[in-house]
Amino acid sequence: MFEFTLEKTSEKSKARAGRIVTPHGEIETPIFMPVGTVGSVKGVAPRELDEIGAQIILGNTYHLHLRPGEDTVAHFGGLAKFNSWNKPTLTDSGGFQVFSLAKLNKIGEEGVEFRSHLDGSKLFLSPEKSIEIQQKIGADIMMAFDECVPYPSEKIYVEKSLELTTRWAERCLKAKTRDDQALFGIIQGGVFPDLRRRSAEQICALPFEGFAIGGLSVGEDIPTMYEIADFITDHMPADKPRYLMGVGTPEDLLNGIERGIDMFDCVMPTRNARNALLFTNSGKLHIKAARYRLSDEPVDAECGCYTCRNFSRGYLRHLYKTGELLALKLNSIHNLHFYLSLVKRARNAINNGFFEDFKKEILDKITFGGD
Ligand code: GUN
Ligand code: ZN
């Protein structure tokens, strides 16, 4: 069972609000998906994710294949049971992680040979293997196995790669045997509009339940990323979910939503939280800074998260400076709450016809990019 219903499209931009129904529950879009690489959103328990407003979390095929192994996850009844989240999940195919984490990868028509980033052992991933693993992991949404080309890359390489990604996409569809999981295709094509268009036409002609834009936020400048996203959504079907992979900052989310994107994932809120960098309604806040030593203010007076309702900046700074585990948890809860609250407010603004004003009001006040 997988359904996407478009509930509202803005009259002033491509922003849209919708609903996805999966076997593990519903997802309101636009949505941000917290990253739980090995099956856990680092430092944050499912009960806390629930309170934050998370609706779907993401796991990685590559990591879960290495540890604990897909058979172990299957033994426990699939990812959502194994980690007791019991709500919608999505697995990335391993395509991206193999290229970004593993060593010495050899790419051929069949698949990718690489060495584990943990012990250097030789491994092989192909479209068939990725689907086999993802079916055992059992997430509600699986991703096609693709090649995410580095930036910058020669146009001829990007072209050959996107054609390979299309052939792999067809093989993923053929390899899929479970009908209780959805499979999304991934559009590649680097920063070349003609190649992006070709990839979109090829991938969106295939019977996927949703479509993702891959290969962005890999080093190109931000205006280029927005231009590509804007251009691509015009070549994607309106009646299927659109997912911008690995993006981004809060302003990237608002800019993506304005360009017709429904789903996002990024390690930024959790990774930054673990580095003491917090997102607030008045900009970024480095909780380590000495100026917060005696601050009895919350991180963000406008935030309703557990962290902001209960703890001062001074205490959070102390936790971080002393290396307390609680610092990582409380910081992560706040940043994830900020992201989930942002997409919730965006959804509400779309449904009530003022998304563009909402976006302007937020971005006029603050910037989240850079450092
Ligand atoms: N995550 C971020 N970018 C990508 C991509 O291009 N492909 C995949 N599979 N995952 C991603
Ligand atoms: Zn907060």
Q: Are 184 and 208 in contact (CB under 8 A)?
A: yes
Q: Which tens digits make up the pLDDT trace of 94-123?
A: 989 988 887 768 999 999 999 998 998 999
pTM, two decimal places: 0.98
Rounded mean pLDDT, 56-84: 98
Cα–ligand 1 centroid distance for 216 (angstroms): 8
pLDDT beyond 80 at 91: yes
ipTM: 0.99
Closest atom, ligand 1, to C-alpha of 94: 9
Q: Is the pLDDT of residue 365 over 90?
A: no
pLDDT in tens, 184-195: 999 999 999 999
DSSP summary character for residue 140: S
Question: Which of helix, strand or coil describes residue 105?
Answer: strand
- Taking residues 129-138, what's their average pLDDT? 98
Q: Ligand 1, from 96, 172, 263: best to mutate by most atoms within 8 Å of Cβ?
A: 96
- Tens-place pLDDT, residues 155-176: 999 999 999 999 999 999 999 9
pLDDT for the residue 88: 98
Q: pLDDT band at 367, cuts 50/70/90?
A: confident
148 lines ligand 1 (CB under 6 A): yes
Burial of 123 (0-12, 13-18, 19+ CB in 10 A): middle
For residue 371, pLDDT beyond 60: no
Give me the helices (H) in the chain, please: 46-52, 61-66, 70-75, 79-82, 95-100, 127-137, 155-175, 193-204, 222-233, 250-258, 268-274, 306-310, 313-321, 325-351, 355-365
What pLDDT digit, counting tens, does each position of 260-311 carry?
A: 999 999 999 999 999 999 999 999 999 999 999 999 999 999 999 999 999 9
Q: To which H or E segment does residue 25 belong? A: strand 25-29
| Ligand 1 atom with minimal separation from the 218 CA | 3
Query: Could you tell me which residues are beta bridge partners of residue 187?
Result: 213
pLDDT at position 271, please? 98
Is 248 touching ligand 1 by the criterion CB < 6 Å?
A: no
Which amino acid appears at position 176 of this protein?
K
92 lines ligand 1 (CB under 6 A): yes
pLDDT of residue 262: 98
Q: Would you state the pLDDT for residue 363? A: 94
Lowest mean pLDDT among 51-55, 58-62, 96-100: 96-100
Judged against a pLDDT cut of 70, whether residue 75 lies above it is answered with yes
What's the confidence (pLDDT) of residue 159?
98
> Which residues fall within 8 angstroms of residue 221, CB to CB, at 6 or more apart?
none
The predicted structure's pLDDT at residue 295: 98
Q: What percent of the chain has pLDDT over 70?
A: 99
pLDDT at 95: 87
Per-residue pLDDT, 104: 67
**202 pLDDT band (50/70/90 cuts)?**
very high
Q: Is 189 in the pocket of ligand 1 (CB under 6 A)?
A: no
What local confidence, expressed as pLDDT, does residue 102 receive?
79
Element (H, E) at 115: strand 112-115
Mean pLDDT value across residues 48-70: 98
Catalytic positions: 92, 265
3-state SS assignment for residue 338: helix
Looking at the CA of residue 97, tell me the nearest atom of ligand 1.
10
**Residue 370 confidence (pLDDT) above 70:** no
The pLDDT of residue 314 = 98
Tens-place pLDDT, residues 9-41? 999 999 999 999 999 999 999 999 999 999 999
Closest by Cα among 247, 234, 161, 246 to 204: 234
Mean pLDDT of 77-92: 98
Mean pLDDT of the chain: 96
